[in-house]
Amino acid sequence: QLEQVYEPLNTKTAIELSKNLQLFDLHDELTAEEIGDGNLNLVFRILHIESGNSIIIKQALPYAKVVGDSWPLTLDRARIESESLQRTYQLVPKLTPKVYYNDPKLAVTIMDDLSHLIILRKGLIAGHQYPKLAKDIGTFLAHTLFFNSDYGMNQQEKKIQSSRFINPELCKITEDLVFTDPFFDHDTNNIEAELKSFVEHVIWADQPLKLEVAKLKKLFLTKAETLVHGDLHTGSIFVSQEETFVIDPEFAYYGPIGFDIGAFLANIILNYLSQDAHLSDQPQKKAEFRQYLLDVLTTTWTVFEQEFTSLWISYPQDAFMKVDGFLEQTLADIWKDTVGFAGCKVIRRMIGLAGVEDVESIKDSPARIAVKKQALTLGKHLILNRHELTTIDKLVKVVSSNA
């Protein structure tokens, strides 16, 4: 047996790998296609035409492509992604692709093919509603965030598990691109000319805002509550009318419970704001779809809160979990963190390195700039007022009155 050394796969070697692993028969006729969107990773779909059976091979590249340039990026994130997917599959198997094989040296994960579903961001931009989405994501959040935390896992075991998810390079990306660079005139920012002076006045000149963001960044750096997904935007979720799956946890690490919840809510909010332009000539449909998105916000949090509460009562790991008021205090803290992180995520998508298609695809320039200004104003409001926005209803009211 040859020692495997890292090399980026191509369609030919991807097929060879899947045959060597006996995922298919040697004489099967297979096709391979690279379907990734290609800044950090390769994604191959391997299809056995005769049976229609297929798998996905995801491989990390040892660098990230950023605006024509590239910076080195650890392959260990592929191991972390595989191990996170496998752990998550134990907790919520209906919402997680099954991993069939992983190889840290090749930086490869082989998993279920979900091509029969659509990436949520694309579906929402097209104005499609997904009736199971909010309940599924609320359940996903409650089960993963509870059972990987000191509330739902043996506290010694949690310390041991957390050592497998030390992810310094991917955390650094979030630390810089979400919490720092957008709040300063940094060269990684990507700001439309017409927006520049607005950003200078509304974001960069606001010292109280920066103080609040510093506190939120400190939480991201220090609050090792649970194993978070770390990149739970609407591009990391596959959906249909019947199913929901969460992919792409390469940013997983032990962080605050509110981080994943905030990421998801922020991306729903950004789609909500973008629909002002996408559906501008269909006021009836716009109102309906926006109401659906507000319901997604409400149901996601409500289901999370209910499920988290019932898990807390059923599986207490600590005597203090039965003390009156501790659950309520914990949920209030999670919510406050959620609102603050959502605000940071909204802002960074408007002026940071990576935009979102929901907004960038608005072709009419004044309409796009208007949406970005609304988003920046709203994101800032969430960060500054997270202590007062104590319920999901208050958040929904702010989102719907802001736009």
Q: How many residues does the chain have?
A: 403
By CB under 5 A, residue 37 contacts Mg ion: yes
Nearer to Mg ion, 83 or 250 (CB): 250
Shortest Å distance, C-beta 41 to ligand ADP: 4
Binding residue per annotation — 348?
Answer: yes
Q: Which of 15, 17, 30, 43 binds ligand ADP (CB under 6 A)?
A: 43
> Does 307 sit near Mg ion (CB under 5 A)?
no
In the bound state with ligand ADP, the residue whose beta carbon lies nearer, of 54 and 374, is 54
Q: Tokens at residue 153, please? A: 């896992």
Q: Which stretch binds ligand ADP (CB under 6 A): 36-44, 126-134, 139-147, 265-273?
A: 36-44
111 makes contact, choosing from Mg ion, ligand ADP, none, with CB < 5 to 8 Å by partner type, with: ligand ADP
Helix (H, G, I), strand (E, B) or coil at 311: helix
Phi first, then psi, for residue 246 (nearest 5°) are: -105, 130
Residue 128 burial (C-beta neighbours within 10 Å; 0-12, 13-18, 19+): middle
Beta-carbon contacts of 185 under 8 Å, excluding residues fewer than 6 positions away, are 200, 204
Q: Are 227 and 162 spatial neighbours (Cβ–Cβ below 8 Å)?
A: yes
Binding of residue 115 to ligand ADP (CB under 6 A): yes
Residue 271: contacted member of Mg ion, ligand ADP, none (CB under 5 to 8 Å, by partner type): none
Q: How many residues bind Mg ion (CB under 5 A)?
A: 3
The site map against ligand ADP for 221-260 (x = CB under 6 A) is ---------------x----------xx-x----------
Closer to ligand ADP by Cβ: residue 78 or 227 = 78
Q: Does 376 bind ligand ADP (CB under 6 A)?
A: no
Tokens of 306: 């209910």
CB of 356: closest distance to ligand ADP in angstroms? Answer: 13
Of 241 and 365, nearer to ligand ADP (C-beta) is 241
Q: Does 35 bind ligand ADP (CB under 6 A)?
A: yes
Report d(CA 63, CA 71) in Å as an integer.
Answer: 5
Q: What is the DSSP string of 350-396?
A: HHSS---HHHHT--SHHHHHHHHHHHHHHHHHHHHTTTT--SHHHHH
250 labelled as ligand-binding?
yes
Sign of CA dihedral 189, 192, 193, 195: negative
Q: Is there binding between residue 113 and ligand ADP (CB under 6 A)?
A: yes
Q: Say if CB 97 and CB 244 are below 8 A apart.
A: no
Question: Are 254 and 160 in contact, with CB atoms under 8 Å apart?
Answer: no
Which of 256, 211, 196 is closest to 230 using CA atoms?
256
Pairing of strands 41-48, 54-60: antiparallel
Q: Which is nearer to ligand ADP, 139 or 236 (CB)?
A: 236
Q: Does 248 bind Mg ion (CB under 5 A)?
A: yes
Cα separation, 106 vs 63, whole angstroms: 14
Residue 83 marked in a binding site: no
206 is in an annotated binding site: no
Confirm whether residue 393 is marked as ligand binding.
Answer: no
In whole angstroms, give the CA distance from residue 12 to residue 31. Answer: 9
Q: How far is the CB of 47 from ligand ADP (least distance, A)?
A: 11
Partner residues linked to 94 by β-bridges: none
Residues of the binding site for substrate: 231, 348
Residue numbering of the annotated binding site: 41, 58, 231, 248-250, 348
Judged by the rule CB under 5 A, the positions of this chain that interact with Mg ion are 37, 248, 250
Name the site residues for ligand ADP (rule: CB under 6 A).
Answer: 35-37, 40-41, 43, 56, 58, 97, 111-115, 119, 236, 247-248, 250
